[in-house]
Amino acid sequence: MWSIYWSVVILLFCLGIYTLIFRHNLIHLIIGIEVMAKALCLGVLVGAFQHGGGVFSVGQSIVITIILIEVATTAIALSLVVAASRHTGSIDIAQLRQLKG
């Protein structure tokens, strides 16, 4: 039973990593990170539910905190995307390859 939930968590997580590796659009990348974070939220909830009781409520608060952190990360990321699009005229990471070597 729990393994089904966990497969979903791992699947979502890997989906996120897949996005990060194979997508060239900055917005997609941010969504990828969001997907990973949401997978983990699910994981926390599943884990907390397994234990029940006090642990469950702690799990809930952890999830809310993760979401909070995610929001902050996304906010900064989006502002960077805006800046990047202003400087390069696109949100394709192929345009962000001047720093190398």
Partner 1 sequence: MLVWLVGMASSRLMKWVASLTALATGGLTLKLLFALPVEPVEGVFWIPNAAVKIGLNLTGLGVWVAVVAGCVGAAAVIFSLKYMEAEEKQYPPTRYYFFTMLFIGSMIGLALADNLIIMYLFWELIGLCSYFLIAYFYMDPKAVRSGTKAFVVTRFGDIGFLFGIVVLWKATGSTNVFDILAMANAGEISMLMVGMAGAGFIAAAVGKSAQFPLHVWLPDAMEAPTTISALIHAACLVNAGVYLLALTYPIFMYLGWWAPVVLWIGAITALLAGVLAVMEFDIKRVLAYSTVSQLGFMVAAVGAGGIFASQFHLVNHAVFKALLFLCAGAIVHAVGTRDLRQMGGLGAKMPITKVCCFVGVAALAGIPVLNGFWSKDLLLDSVMMAGDWAAVPLIILIVSAALTAIYSLRMYWMVFSGPKAYEAPAHDGPWQMSVPLVALALAALLMWLAVGFYCSQAIAGVQFHIVPVEMSLADMFHHTVTNPLLAVSGLVVLIWIVLAVSWSRSGKVLSVEGRGVTALTETKFGFDPLYQGVIALIGGFCRVLRRLQTGDLNYNVASAAVGLIIILLLLAAR
Partner 2 sequence: MIDLVLPVAILMAGSLLVYVVARLTRSKAATGVVALILLAVSGYIMYLLAAPKPPLDETAEAVQAVPLMAVFDLNPLAIFLAVISLGLTAVVALYSIGYMQQKNIGKYYALLLMMTGGMVGIALAGDLFNLFVMFEIMSLASFALVAFEDNWEPVEAGVKYLILSAMGSMVALLGIVLVFTWTGNLHLSVLHDSHLVPPDLALVVAALFVAGFGVKAAIVPMHTWLPDAHSAAPSGISAMLSGIVISAGLITMIKAIGVLPGTLVGLTLPLLAVLTMFGGNLMAWVQTDLKRMLAYSSIAHMGYILAGVAVAFAAPASVGFDGMRGGLMHIMNHAVMKGGAFLCAGAIIMLVGTRDLKQIAGIGRKVPLLGISFGIFVLALAGTPPFNGFISKLFICKAAIGCDNWGWALVLIVIINSFLSLFYYLPALNKVLLAREPSEQVRNASDQLPASVVLAIFVLALLTLALGIQPDMGFGLVDGAARSAAALIR
By CB under 8 A, name the one of 11, 24, 27, 51 that touches partner 2: 51
Candidates 1-9, 37-45, 60-68, 91-99: pick the segment binding partner 1 (CB under 8 A).
Answer: 91-99
Instruction: Report in angstroms how near the CB of residue 100 gets to partner 1 at its nearest.
Output: 3
Distance between CA atoms of residues 4 and 73, nearest Å: 29
Reduce the DSSP state of residue 25 to 3 states and report it: strand
Q: Which of 17, 58, 68, 78 binds partner 1 (CB under 8 A)?
A: 17
Q: Total residues contacting partner 1 (rule CB under 8 A)?
A: 15
Q: Does 12 bind partner 2 (CB under 8 A)?
A: no
| Type and span of the H or E element at 100 | none
Residue 95 DSSP symbol: G
- For residue 36, give every residue at least 6 positions away whose Cβ sits within 8 Å of its Cβ, in sequence order, or none: 12, 13, 16, 17
Q: Which residues of the chain form contacts with partner 1 (CB under 8 A)?
A: 17, 20-24, 29, 93-94, 96-101
